[in-house]
């Protein structure tokens, strides 16, 4: 416990009953709680919950001062790491120190923009299959975008990871991930978790989900290993061939290979599906933005499949994806950090042992950096628009622990979005209400987003896939 409280600790609301009042509000509506906190203390605020002091950093410069400049003074909050390691083992998402550095060095080259461009053909073929099925549906029937995007991104990550598509029914996997996400988030408000062998219904559910995930991943690793050659253009081959640049003899152990595969799979598809679901709803609600995208997609692609190069010529499409992730960042809160040395934030010194929290959902809706912050205005991200301060838009985090899959995600989302807009006009069904967000690790819509997909003139010369 922290006994030394510096005279310079940041302002914040009073904690009644050792902060149990905050704990209750946080549990009921975490994002509402942090939004109110930021309204009262725009740059930085401190709360107290039981024995912990938690400092929320909101000012973009200070966010970077902590996450970029003092990253070696931080570890991830132990409770979150403990919960995530149930499904993700000792993977790059949860490890710290030398072990994390080694894993990050080994994985990063395989997810560079250049290497990721090599997965584009896999991504477009997955999207093409899913969209061809959709084109056969009656036009008047609205489509549940969450289900569509989950299927599509699951297919993409499976093909990208394992090279060929070997899963016939992806629903059990999607359900297992959802179960673990929901359970994981509520566990964060409890001081400990029951071990997985406990015969409690909630624990059994998580155990079953974990077994499903482990089994599918193991089956795929084995199947891929028996057929693959070392020149395969898939993520698993990349993981198998990954060597530590500082120790070229070293490859990932069998357990590390399993854990990294799970993390790529889990971190890599739920976030992307969530971003695409919100994006599709926003496009359907904003026909004026949709028109801009249709115009550029039709003019640039002319019926061809998008590629990493042609995506660069679609500024409205790219800007709309960024703006959707500003309003609804899939990772609405970053992992809370623990200071393992004193940390300086602007004029404050946070002593070793404190927790520090970062909430992109709140930072990205600050009217000081985003005029009409609740409005969907992709033009903010167009080339030539006024500059957005660094650290004010960070759906992928920032600093050395920034999302390792950000180039993969941006490419995947761009390709899927372009192919969808090539084929369909998105229409918001009359009378349908806009859903609130439901935070369970990722920020998903609380009710399904349904959109009508009206077929455009058929694509006559599809080439490239
Ligand atoms: C729209 C899609 C995505 C979003 C919004 C997203 C967001 C994030 C964020 C915010 C972090 C940092 C968390 C923190 O600092 O506390 C992160 C880390 C991570 N992401 Fe992503 N992510 C996405 C897609 C992906 C994909 C496609 C992959 C893999 C192929 C991936 C793998 C990872 C991994 C392994 C980490 C941990 C990195 C480390 O700690 O060194 N993510 N992601």
């009262």: which residue's tokens?
Answer: 40
pLDDT number for residue 256: 86
Helix ranges (DSSP H) in 29-72: 30-40, 60-67
pLDDT number for residue 2: 44
Per-residue pLDDT of the chain (465 residues; tens, 9 = 90+): 444 444 468 888 776 666 677 777 777 789 999 999 999 999 999 998 888 889 999 999 999 999 999 999 999 998 888 887 777 788 898 899 999 999 999 899 889 999 999 989 989 998 998 888 887 777 777 999 998 998 889 888 888 888 764 555 667 777 887 787 777 666 766 666 666 666 666 777 778 888 888 888 888 788 777 765 555 678 888 888 888 888 888 888 888 888 888 888 888 888 999 999 999 999 999 999 999 999 999 999 999 999 999 999 999 999 999 999 999 999 999 999 999 999 999 999 999 999 999 999 999 999 999 999 999 999 999 999 999 999 999 999 999 999 999 999 999 999 999 999 999 999 999 999 999 999 887 899 999 999 999 988 765 544 433
Bridging pattern class, strands 355-357 and 52-57: parallel
Exposure b/e, 25-47, CB count within 10 A at least 16 = b: bbeeebbebbeebbeebebbbbb
Q: Quick count: other Cβ atoms within 10 Å of Cβ 109?
A: 13
Find the 267 Cα to ligand 1 centroid distance in Å: 6
Q: Where are the domains of the chain?
A: 17-455
Closest residue by Cα to residue 139 from 460, 425, 416, 447: 425
What is the residue with the minimal CA distance to atom 21 of ligand 1? 403
Answer yes or no: is the C-beta of 36 below 6 A from any ligand 1 atom: no
Bridging pattern class, strands 348-350 and 343-345: antiparallel
Find the 231 Cα to ligand 1 centroid distance in Å: 26
Residues found in the chain: 465
Answer yes or no: is the C-beta of 335 below 6 A from any ligand 1 atom: yes
> What is the CB-side half-sphere exposure of residue 212 using CA atoms within 13 A?
19
Q: Which atom of ligand 1 lies closest to the CA of 260?
A: 35
Answer yes or no: is the C-beta of 115 below 6 A from any ligand 1 atom: no
Find the 36 Cα to ligand 1 centroid distance in Å: 27
> What distance in Å separates the CA atoms of residue 342 and residue 326, rounded to the nearest whole number?
31
> What distance in Å separates the CA atoms of residue 173 and residue 430, rounded to the nearest whole number?
33
pTM over 0.85: yes
Q: Which atom of ligand 1 lies closest to the CA of 91?
A: 35
> What distance in Å separates the CA atoms of residue 46 and residue 53, rounded to the nearest whole number?
7
Answer yes or no: is the C-beta of 408 below 6 A from any ligand 1 atom: yes
Find the 200 Cα to ligand 1 centroid distance in Å: 31
> What distance in Å separates the CA atoms of residue 13 and residue 11, rounded to the nearest whole number?
7
Answer yes or no: is the C-beta of 397 below 6 A from any ligand 1 atom: yes
Q: Which atom of ligand 1 lies closest to the CA of 400?
A: 41
CATH architecture group of domain 17-455:
Orthogonal Bundle (1.10)
Tell me, rounded to whole angstroms, the distance of Cα 332 from its chain centroid.
Answer: 8
Answer yes or no: is the C-beta of 404 below 6 A from any ligand 1 atom: yes
- Spatial CB neighbours of 114, under 8 Å, sequence gap ≥ 6: none
Q: Which two tokens stand for residue 340?
A: 């393992």
Burial class (CB in 10 A: 0-12, 13-18, 19+), 278: buried
- Spatial CB neighbours of 108, under 8 Å, sequence gap ≥ 6: 404
Answer yes or no: is the C-beta of 161 below 6 A from any ligand 1 atom: no
Q: Which two tokens stand for residue 402?
A: 């920034």
């Amino acid at each position: 416990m922290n006994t030394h409280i510096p005279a310079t600790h940041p302002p914040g609301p009073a904690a009644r009953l050792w902060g149990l009042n905050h704990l209750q509000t946080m549990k009921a509506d975490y994002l509402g709680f942090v939004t109110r906190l930021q309204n009262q203390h725009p740059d930085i605020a401190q709360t107290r919950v039981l024995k912990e002091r938690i400092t929320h950093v909101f000012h973009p410069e200070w966010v970077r001062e902590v996450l970029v400049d003092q990253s070696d003074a931080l570890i991830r909050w132990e409770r979150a790491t403990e919960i995530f390691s149930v499904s993700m083992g000792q993977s790059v998402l949860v490890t710290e120190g030398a072990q994390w550095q080694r894993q990050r060095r080994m994985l990063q080259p395989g997810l560079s923009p250049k290497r990721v461009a090599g997965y584009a053909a896999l991504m477009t073929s997955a999207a093409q299959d899913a969209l061809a099925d959709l084109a056969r549906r009656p036009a008047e029937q609205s489509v549940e975008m969450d289900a569509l995007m989950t299927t599509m991104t699951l297919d993409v990550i499976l093909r990208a990871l394992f090279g060929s598509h070997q899963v016939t029914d992806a629903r059990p996997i999607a359900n297992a991930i959802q179960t673990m996400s929901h359970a994981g988030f509520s566990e964060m408000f409890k001081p400990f978790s029951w071990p997985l062998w406990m015969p409690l219904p909630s624990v059994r559910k998580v155990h079953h989900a974990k077994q499903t995930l482990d089994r599918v991943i193991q089956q795929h690793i084995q199947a891929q290993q028996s057929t693959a050659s070392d020149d395969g253009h898939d993520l698993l081959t990349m993981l198998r061939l990954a060597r530590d640049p500082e120790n070229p003899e070293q490859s990932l152990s069998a357990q590390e290979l399993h854990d990294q595969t799970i993390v790529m799979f889990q971190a890599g598809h739920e976030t992307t599906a969530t971003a695409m679901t919100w994006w599709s709803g926003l496009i359907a609600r904003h026909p004026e933005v949709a028109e801009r995208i249709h115009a550029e997609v039709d003019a640039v692609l002319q019926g061809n499949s998008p590629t990493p190069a042609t995506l660069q010529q679609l500024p409205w499409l790219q800007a709309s994806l960024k703006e959707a992730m500003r309003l609804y960042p899939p990772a609405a809160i970053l992992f809370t950090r623990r200071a393992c040395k004193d940390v300086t934030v602007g004029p404050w010194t946070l002593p070793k042992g404190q927790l520090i929290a970062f909430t992109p959902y709140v930072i990205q809706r600050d009217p000081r950096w985003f005029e009409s912050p609740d409005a969907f205005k992709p033009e903010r991200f167009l080339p030539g628009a006024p500059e957005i301060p660094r650290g004010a838009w960070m759906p992928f985090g920032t600093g050395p622990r920034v999302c390792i899959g950000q180039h993969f995600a941006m490419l995947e989302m761009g390709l899927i979005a372009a192919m969808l807009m090539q084929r369909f006009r998105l229409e918001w069904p009359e009378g349908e209400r806009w859903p609130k967000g439901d935070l369970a690790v990722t920020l998903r819509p609380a009710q399904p987003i349904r959109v009508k997909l009206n077929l455009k003139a058929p694509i006559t010369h599809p080439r490239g896939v």
